[in-house]
Structure 1
Amino acid sequence: MIVLDLAEIKALMDHMAASNLTDFVYQDGQTTFKLAKKSNLPAATSSVDVRPVAATTQSKKVLKAPLVGVFYTSAAPDEPPFVKVGDVVTVGQTVGVIEAMKMMHEVKAEQAGKVTQVLIGNEQRVGFDDPLFELD
């Protein structure tokens, strides 16, 4: 189940506007979340189709980007990602790297939990507080 607030939806729209991506669809059971960029309109007019989400007793935790830059899932292209779905992370553990102003900055987990979803791809631009990982 996906639970997003308006700020997170806006962040996803901003990512689409800055990329060549024209459609994004997430499906989980009966929940469907779709973003579509209309090619003949400015990106600011992208449409959002969010269907109702049933209430959940479990609250998901989200690890967010601490700064603006390019996100890397591993220390080098030939190395495995710092974390993947199913991994358990601890507070202070490195979960990625963000390149900002030609410097590499480690992204450390501010919360502990099991990674249930990776919300960003390797070498994608991120903004401040953009969601990176979802934890249980």
Structure 2
Amino acid sequence: MDLKEIQNLIKFVANSGVAEVKLEMDDVKITIRTTLEGNVSETTYVQQMPAHPVIQQAVVPQQIAPATTTPVAPPAENSNYITIKSPIIGTFYRKPTPDKPMFVEVGSTIAKGDVLCVIEAMKLFNEIESEVAGKIVKILVDDMSPVEYDQPLFLVDPS
């Protein structure tokens, strides 16, 4: 089961109103627990079944903000900027490795397809590429910070 399938499963369970779902496959065991009172929260546990006696597991907790809150919106003067958002949940990194330079800085000119950052999810490092050309105006997330799905990462001036 790949990351996209797990994300789709989490979304499906969150929208279905079911309190808990457990899924066991050959090498993966997933438990998704949803509480639907006042604050909506969702907890997902993914455990990789061991191929040998050493137990290895990955636990991925996820918090979803209450439905009444809105995402942090940039000020009105930034309305002509394009917001690049996180396509996945994970840890945001501005560098490919600790000893390499940052992918982009404020003021960097980017083209469509340029790598902007890396997001680590379940020990996989996913390069996040720009879908627009322009200039980086603001970096909205600190290096090595956890990010949520659809969280704003960068503001880009397309002009």
TM bucket normalised to smaller: 0.5 to 0.7
Identity %: 40
| 1:87-130 alpha-carbon deviations (Å, 9 max, x no partner) | 01111110000000111000001111100111111100011111
The runs of 5 or more residues in structure 2 that have no matched partner are 1-64, 67-71
| 1:37-66 alpha-carbon deviations (Å, 9 max, x no partner) | xxxxxx97xxxxx9xx6x549611111111
1:7 aligned residue: none
Query: How well do the aligned residues superpose, as a CA RMSD in angstroms?
Result: 2.5
The runs of 5 or more residues in structure 1 that have no matched partner are 1-42, 45-49
Structure 1 stretches of 4+ with a deviation exceeding 3 A read 55-58
2:18 aligned residue: none
Give the whole-Å Cα distance in 1 for the aligned partners of 2:78 and 2:139. 21
Q: State the aligned residue count.
A: 88
1:23 aligned residue: none
2:88 aligned residue: 67
| 1:72-101 alpha-carbon deviations (Å, 9 max, x no partner) | 000011211100001011111100000001
Instruction: Indicate whether 1:117 and 2:127 are aligned.
Output: no
Give the greater-gyration-radius structure (CA): 2
Give the alignment's TM-score, normalised by structure 2.
Answer: 0.50
> Superposition pairs for residues 98-113 of structure 1, below 5 Å?
98-113=119-134
Task: Read off the aligned partner of 1:134 and give its amino acid letter.
Answer: L
Task: Read off the aligned partner of 2:84 and give its amino acid letter.
Answer: L
Distance 1:112 1:125, change over 3 A: same
Structure with higher RCO (Cα < 8 A, 6+ apart): 1
Task: Read off the aligned partner of 1:107 and give its amino acid letter.
Answer: I
> Superposition pairs for residues 1-136 of structure 1, below 5 Å?
56=77, 59-136=80-157
Distance 1:57 1:81, change over 3 A: closer
Give the whole-Å Cα distance in 1 for the aligned partners of 2:90 and 2:124. 10
